[in-house]
Amino acid sequence: MPEFDQQMNTQQFQEWLQTRAHKSAQVNQARPLLMGILNITTDSFFDGGKFIAPERALSHARELINQGADIIDIGGESSRPGALPISVDEELNRVIPIIEAVVAESDICLSIDSCKTAVMEAALSAGAFMVNDISGLASDGAMHLLACVQRPVCLMHMQGIPTTMQENPSYQRHVIDEINHFFSERINACLLMGIKRENLILDPGFGFGKTIEHNLTIVKNLRQFAVHQLPLLLGVSRKSTIGKLLNKPVSERLFGSIALTVVAALQNAAIIRTHDVDETLQALQMIEAMNAI
Task: Write the CB contacts of 4 (distance below 8 Å, at least 6 apart in sequence).
Answer: 31, 285, 288
Instruction: Tell me the one-letter amino acid at 187.
Output: I
Specify whether the CB–CB gap between 264 and 12 falls below 8 A: no
What span, in angstroms and rounded, lies between the C-alpha atoms of 206 and 211?
Answer: 9
What span, in angstroms and rounded, lies between the C-alpha atoms of 6 and 34?
Answer: 10
Instruction: Tell me the one-letter amino acid at 6.
Output: Q
Specify whether the CB–CB gap between 71 and 34 falls below 8 A: yes
For residues 230, 141, 178, 228, the Cα torsion angle rounded to the nearest 10 degrees is: -20
142 class by beta-carbon count within 10 Å (0-12 exposed, 13-18 middle, 19+ buried): buried
What span, in angstroms and rounded, lies between the C-alpha atoms of 4 and 283?
Answer: 12
Beta-bridge partners for 130: 111
- Catalytic residue numbers read 239, 273
